[in-house]
Amino acid sequence: MKLSDAIRKGAEQLPQAHGVLFERDVVHDGVYTSEGGGMYVRWTCRPIRACALGAAYLGTFGAPAELSFVHSNDEPRFFTELEVAYPKLCSSPLAIPCGHSDQLGHTLEGVIAHLNDQCGWSRERIADWLDTLEDKP
């Protein structure tokens, strides 16, 4: 699957986030009895919004089975999985297409994050821009 298609597919699943891969919501999952007879409450964390890279993750792998309650604990894992699926994310020095910087040297991953977080581009617009790169030989 092309990265642009993965972003579009993921964008259909959740609203857009800025500054994090996934905004999270903590959900009470029920009260359970342990084997020793004690009671415990189970809480889970689910994504409620996704940035462009988070949408790429959703479009490629589906919703994460489990999210930690702290944003920074699980995001390196997601970035690693995306970089394995889309090796060009961490290579290919590019200029940022928004006019903020005309210097080469930005990774594709960094440009996507910049367009999503600093420029406020929609994920669909980012995917359209990626199409112009992916269609080149």
| Residue 37 neighbours by CB under 8 Å, 6+ apart | none
**pTM score, whole prediction:** 0.82
Average pLDDT over residues 97-108: 73
pLDDT at position 108 over 80: yes
What is the model's pLDDT at position 68? 63
Report the C-alpha gap between 72 and 70 in whole angstroms. Answer: 6
For the chain, what is the mean pLDDT?
A: 84
68-77, 92-101, 108-117, 127-136: which range is least confident on average? 68-77
- Beta bridge partner(s), residue 46: 25
pLDDT at position 19 over 60: yes
**Domain housing 46:** 3-134
State how many domains the chain has.
Answer: 1
| Residue 24 neighbours by CB under 8 Å, 6+ apart | 45, 46, 47, 48, 67, 69, 71
